[in-house]
Amino acid sequence: MGVTIHFEGSLKSRQAFDELADIAIKFANERQFAVSTFHEDNKLLQRVRNEQDWDYQGPTDGILIHASEACDPINLEFDENLHLQEYCKTQFAGCEIHILICALLRLIEPFFANLQVYDEAEYWETGDRSILETHLEKVFEMIEEAKNENGKLDGPFRVNGRIVDLIEK
């Protein structure tokens, strides 16, 4: 359940990372989004490939952007091979934030050898706001229906920095 943008790809070069970081930081600052850069010497990134766990352990570099308190942070975290696999749940932040995140991904796309984006609301593929709005409406209907069927469900909540739709009380 949810409206989430999934994105994965590998950068063309280390220089591409530096250029991407400059663009992402500028994008965030222009919109007054909180933004930070980081380096981790040894981090576990939990990943999936072909429906199998494909975890990475090692150094990472990244840019973290908080576009809204109502959505996941945009985590552009790359492993030592300059690979990224992430997602950002946007449904509680609304259409404008979802559209802006897609715009950011479009801006940084040229720095990737390959960037695959799967947008559950189909905005990335279509650019059609009405389709995005329809997906958001359906998700909110599903959440309300689930809450009505199970009075112990409540949400949304932020857990470990991520948005969770529903949790049983």
**What is the per-residue pLDDT for 51?**
81
Residue 167 lies in a domain: no
Residue 9 lies in a domain: yes
pLDDT digits (tens, 9 = 90+) for 111-130: 999 999 999 999 999 999 99
Of residues 151 and 25, more confidently modeled? 25
Q: Cα-flanking dihedrals φ and ψ of residue 164, to 5°?
A: -115, 130
Residue 34 lies in a domain: yes
Per-residue b or e along 119-134, where b marks 16 or more CB atoms closer than 10 Å to that residue's CB: bbbebbeeeeeeebee
pLDDT class of 151 with cuts at 50, 70, 90 = confident
Residue 147 lies in a domain: no
**What is the per-residue pLDDT for 1?**
55
CA dist., res. 169 & res. 143, Å (int)? 15
Model-level pTM greater than 0.75? yes
65 contacts 73 by C-beta, under 8 angstroms: yes
pLDDT digits (tens, 9 = 90+) for 53-112: 888 999 999 999 999 999 999 999 999 999 999 999 999 999 999 999 999 999 999 999
Identify the domain containing residue 82 by its residue range: 4-128
Residue 118 lies in a domain: yes
Residue 134 lies in a domain: no
- State how far Cα 104 lies from the chain centre: 11
pLDDT class of 7 with cuts at 50, 70, 90 = very high
The percent of residues above 90 in pLDDT, for the chain, comes to: 78
Residue 143 lies in a domain: no
Number of folded domains in the chain? 1
Residue 73 lies in a domain: yes
**What is the per-residue pLDDT for 35?**
98
- Looking at every residue in the chain, the average pLDDT score rounds to 94
**What is the per-residue pLDDT for 145?**
92
